[in-house]
Every structure is written in structure tokens, then in C-alpha cells.
Amino acid sequence: MSSHLDVRLREGTKHSHTMAENTAFMKCFLKGVVERSFFRKLLADLYFVYSALEEELQQYQYHPIVGMMHFPELYRQANLEKDLAFYYGENWRSQIVPSKAGQVYVKRIREVSNTQPELLIAHAYTRYMGDLSGGQALRNIARSAMNLPSDRGTAMHEFEQIPTPEARREFKEQYRQALNFLPLDEAMIQKIVDEANYVFTLNRNVIHELEADVKAVIGEHIFDLITRQDQVGSTESTSKSTAVEMMGMDYSI
């Protein structure tokens, strides 16, 4: 019997989607303001987040519920290692540390894994479905803004086993079907939706910590001009702007 968890997650996180779309960092990113100095800091935080998430997902690959959402082809840790080697050099491991917000994010992943591993589903859904959707457009913006070589610098958003838009659409449909056949009661469904909203908050907090770096690159006046106007939320509006679709937060794509 279907739990309709995919719809519950999409509908239940609409407001969080819109808030994510309207962070100052993302508004600047969508305008092509992407510099190695702060982009690599974001990748470093994401490395710690994905490393923790994937370690915990692997631990529960035979769990009766979490195991049904075990898709190793989505894992990002190895690809982020390639990116970090590109931006920091071969000794990247000694150069990166998680931000304060990144530490909180990782701590939360470890906490839910130890206490209620079903909530890892919320973390995986929110991250990976965004990567497969508008994350692909963010990849293109980053490549153009930083004039990257054709095969370096954006492995984070490259899925070797799901390489084409058609393959990604098919995979996302498979993922949604897997969500819907999880044997969950109403209480757990609501907990997963609540956790997904918290994941958006954790991610926003990581991004907020980079705003000072963005402002230092473009100046306070330009920063204020770019960030003054809010985007219409893709999941709270019937018409989607191109910029909003790029966000990777609209999982209906």
C-alpha cells in the first residue's frame, strides 16, 4: 500500500523550499557570482555532510525500512574528494575543516542515525533529489562563472551511473516509488517530513556562513542590489521562474 510519502514530502516542505531559494548566497549564485574562494568552502562542508550521511546509510543498508532507500549510485563522497583535490590540491584533507554550521549538520545526521534511523530518509531525499534536479543547472553556472576545464571542478553534480536527463528523470521516478512503498505509519511519515524541513534549515545555515565571503568579493552595494528582491517560490507558485527551477529544490522536475 502506498504511503504517498513523496507527495507528503513535497507538499510539506514548500515553505522551506522558498526560504532556500531566497538565501542571499543562492541569489548571487544564480546571477553567476561564483568564486573559487567560497565555492570550495561550500564543497568542504558538503564533503563532511555527505561523508557522514553515506556512512550512516551504508550502516543501515539491511534495515527493513532505511535499506529500501539504499542507492549507492547517488553517493557523493568520492566525487567531492575529486573536487576538493582540484580546488585545494592533493593535500586537501589537511586544509579543510567544517564550519560551525557544518558541524551542527553532521552532528544531527549522527544523532538521528543513533536514535531513529528512519529519519535518515529525510536527509537523503532532501540532498540527493536536489542534486539530481536543479543541481545540474547550478553545475553549469559554476562551470561558466569560474571558466573551469571541461572535466574538473564539478564532480559533485555529476552522476556517472545516471548520466543523462532522461536517466535522471527515470531514476527520480524510481526513487519516488521506493519512498511510497516504505512500510510507515502516519506518525513516522510526519516525523520524516518534519526532519526534511529541518534539513533545509541546516543547509541554509551552512550557506549563510558564506555570505561574508561573497560580499567581500563583489562589495556590499552590489550584494545588496542582488539580494534585495525575493524570488517567487517554485513550490508555492503555479508558474516557475527559470531561476527558481535552477535551485534544484523542485523535485517535480
Show binding-site residues: 10, 17, 125, 176
**Alpha-carbon gap, residue 168 to 161, rounded angstroms:** 9
Best CA proximity match to 152, nearest among 44, 36, 51, 74: 36
**Alpha-carbon gap, residue 240 to 250, rounded angstroms:** 9
**Alpha-carbon gap, residue 67 to 71, rounded angstroms:** 9
Contact call for residues 211 and 41 (beta carbons, < 8 A): no
- CA angle, residues 152, 174, 11, in degrees to nearest 5: 95
Residue 141: Cβ-neighbour burial (10 angstroms; 0-12, 13-18, 19+): middle
242-247 long-range contacts (CB < 8 A, ≥24 apart) are: 243/30, 244/21, 245/134, 245/137, 246/30, 246/134, 246/137, 246/138, 246/141, 247/17, 247/20, 247/21, 247/26, 247/30, 247/130, 247/134, 247/138
**Alpha-carbon gap, residue 193 to 195, rounded angstroms:** 5
For residue 2 the three cell numbers come to: 502506498
Q: Is 19 helix (H, G, I), strand (E, B) or coil?
A: helix
Q: Which residues are annotated as a binding site for heme b?
A: 10, 17, 125, 176
